[in-house]
Structure 1
């Protein structure tokens, strides 16, 4: 079993970047919001990526913005009813793919979120139709992004891990996957056996992990070892060629302490 790599997350804010860089992470994942997709913001994001690269960080992932206006960036939001949201998702994904291709890094897009999923599902005649719309859009983004784009699971029924039949469909699309352990754990209602089964089933398709603990009931983003995930069972089944970060809620965004604590927890477990 290989030792876990140190992967940290932060914004393009220089204080956050320098806080993370002092620990020499193998992977840095950028959190973004709508401000990163203005002309000025995009240039600053581009410069921030180059700065992190210049400091010897091998792997860089940019997380697609989670929200636009009052809504999450939900892929199934229909264009005819939510034209601005739809268009923002399109243009921001195009920008991320271009940046990722130019600088040889990765971008991450959520297949779905959970907060307004039911609201958006109701714009369709069935869950199946909504899911089909999601897959159609992901197929297009996959073609656009090639080896620079990956898709992350949610706890919504539209794009989640933990249900073997849906996982089979996801595998059939040959997506490059980001696996958030807490989202899967919540989706399977805190069942460690189902989490491990999902990690194993999707393993060949996984290129990136969000390592996060959870009680398995709601979105809680806990440091590793403080929730109910069985990390001693998770560690041996991780895809060793994939990158990973600790996506933990921080008390202070300029101090990645909780992410580091999670790494130390995993390192002790591995040894």
Structure 2
């Protein structure tokens, strides 16, 4: 296992992460980071992180705009300003990702209520159909610089064998958040491990995080119910990964580092 860490566009956070010499680094972006000024600042941070011998850099698309999730499936007529921001920010970040040879991570969905996901659509099936058309488009223009992350949303999640196979058949480059899948399955370890196995070939990035399997809890590895001895052999060894665990102090990555120590300890216990 190689070390992967995450931080915002914050010099103190970045300095804290760089002291551990991570192989992978993910920037957690906000709406302010994709303004013209923000993008110029982000480019400078990418250059700095790369100068620290980080091998792979990921840009996590902003989650929110004016306090609301940026759902990729949203209906333009129901939220025109948020819709415009979603697409402008995505295209601007994709252009930056291609220019700087980094990765852009986009959420296929978040966990908004069904009534919000279906606003402007006849039903949830229509929302899913629109979502997959947009994922197809982004995959086509993003190529090797884009990936899509799962959530616990009914319109884009991992863990259902039929849905997993449909996603796999699309050939998308996938980001697999372990806690999101585990929570969606309400702690069903067998189904969770099967999803990791089914999607492995197309997974290019992992968010490694533990969970009790009931709600978003972002636990340090070893503090939840995920069986990491079963997870490790199922990971795509070509993929990058970061520890997306809750920190007591955003300027101190100690819970991420403890997670990495735990996982490398697990790795040493596995048979050759």
TM-superposition CA deviations, 1:184-215 (whole Å, max 9, x none): 00011101111100000000110000000001
Distance in 1 (CA, whole Å) between partners of 2:121 and 2:76 is: 12
The equivalent of 2:62 in structure 1 is 65
* 2:98 counterpart of 1:101: yes
Question: Retained in 1: the 8 A contact 2:148–2:175?
Answer: yes
Q: TM-score, normalised by structure 1?
A: 0.97
Aligned positions of 1:241-252 closer than 5 A: 241-252=238-249
Report the Cα offset of residue 115 of structure 1: 3.0
Distance in 1 (CA, whole Å) between partners of 2:124 and 2:186 is: 21
Structure 2 counterpart of 1:258, from 247, 255, 260: 255
The equivalent of 2:184 in structure 1 is 187
Question: Retained in 1: the 8 A contact 2:117–2:124?
Answer: no
SS at match of 2:29: coil
Question: Retained in 2: the 8 A contact 1:66–1:72?
Answer: yes
Distance in 1 (CA, whole Å) between partners of 2:113 and 2:142 is: 26
Report the Cα offset of residue 117 of structure 1: 4.5
The equivalent of 2:129 in structure 1 is 132
Question: Retained in 1: the 8 A contact 2:171–2:202?
Answer: yes
TM-superposition CA deviations, 1:147-176 (whole Å, max 9, x none): 000000000110000001111211122100
The equivalent of 1:22 in structure 2 is 19
TM-superposition CA deviations, 1:37-57 (whole Å, max 9, x none): 111111101100110001110
Question: Retained in 2: the 8 A contact 1:72–1:116?
Answer: no
Unmatched tracts of structure 1, length 5 or more: none
Question: Retained in 1: the 8 A contact 2:150–2:156?
Answer: yes
Report the Cα offset of residue 121 of structure 1: 2.0
Report the Cα offset of residue 249 of structure 1: 0.9
What is the aligned length?
268
Instruction: Please provide the CA RMSD for this pair.
Output: 0.9
